[in-house]
Amino acid sequence: MNRPFIIPVFLPHHGCPHRCIFCNQVTITSTKKNLLDMKQLHLRINEFLKYKKKQRHPVQIAFYGGNFLGLKTDDIKRLLHEAAKFVKDGQVDSIRFSTRPDTINNQRLDAIKQYPVAAIELGVQSMDDQVLATANRGHTSLDTEQAVELLKARKYTIGLQMMVGLPGDDEAKALATGRRIAGLGPDFVRIYPTTVLANSPLATWYQQGEYAPWPLKQCVTVVKKLYLMFTNNKIPVIRMGLQSSEDLEEGSTILAGPYHPAFGHLVHSEIFLDRAAAAIKPAKSNHDAITLKVHPHSLSKMRGLNNQNIEILKRKFQIKDLQIIPDSSLSPNKLVVRQ
């Protein structure tokens, strides 16, 4: 899957019929709530285009952070019309947006078919109807299934976003959601851990002791299992964890929960740790030396954050000297053990 150069345009909470318990898009996107005018839209797009390198293609304008097809029809068409000007001029290849599953119907899709929209992402969050109800999503898993069917019929590229650790969620439910999402055959997925954002309804639950977020280690392990499930089904996972930002790093935005600026790296590191542990043959006595060979791009994943994978393997197998060396002949996911 060729990763596009994304020009993100945030529309926090716009078009949302109600407020999900976990949500505070203004906090996440650092964007004010007013719907941007067309001058602001053009300025933002042009600003991002300055940083596009010649080899980065395709280029997409992406409307995120709200419920795009929940906007007023005039606003939808106005935003798409202005974005389409950049496509017509050859500066941008297409448009994408995120929306709720229950906003996908033939009437709305007919309204946008004249515009160069290539990809539509659905905020699925869960395929467990009880989890969805507790989160105040206002839609069901059936809405997601029907939305995907309609989008496939119109040949859109489909992205599905899921969350783990919502109130009422557990590992079994999260993996069941993953299986149902994989069964829908999307073109890509995103996986987000549930964090407690300041000024969100979930923050009140947390402060009153009614909600306990998942620990980081548990969340990484569950997302690892989901990642492997999707990739084994040839479904790319294009994001794991929230996009890091200065606001999130300050510590006042996220009150609690499994946030880490390198969440995806933690997941990949755990995958490599599992592979190495499975490949190293236990010895009757201590290992004097073991060498792990991985692709150069996978060195940091194999080492783990602060070299913790090395330390774990040395303790587990009583290894005196553990070396990790690059081997460009290997695929990025391959690991070879020499002992």
Per DSSP, 168 falls in state T
Domains of the chain: 5-250 (3.20.20.70), 268-338 (3.30.300)
CA distance 271 to 275: 6
Average pLDDT over residues 23-28: 57
Average pLDDT over residues 5-19: 80
CA distance 290 to 30: 47
Contact between 196 and 206 under an 8 Å Cβ cutoff? The reply is yes
DSSP per residue over 12-43, as a string?
TTTT-SS--TT--HHHHHT--SSPP-HHHHHH
pTM of the prediction? 0.91
Residue 317 has pLDDT above 60, yes or no: yes
Average pLDDT over residues 214-237: 98
Nearest to 269 by CA among 231, 236, 307: 307
Give the largest Cα separation in the chain, rounded: 73
Residue-wise pLDDT for 55-104, tens only, equals 778 999 999 988 999 999 999 999 999 999 999 999 999 999 999 999 99
- pLDDT value of residue 248: 55
- pLDDT value of residue 118: 97
| pLDDT band at 288; cut points 50, 70, 90 | confident
- pLDDT value of residue 33: 53
| pLDDT band at 34; cut points 50, 70, 90 | low
Nearest to 187 by CA among 229, 228, 234, 127: 234
Strand pairing report for 117-125 and 94-99: parallel
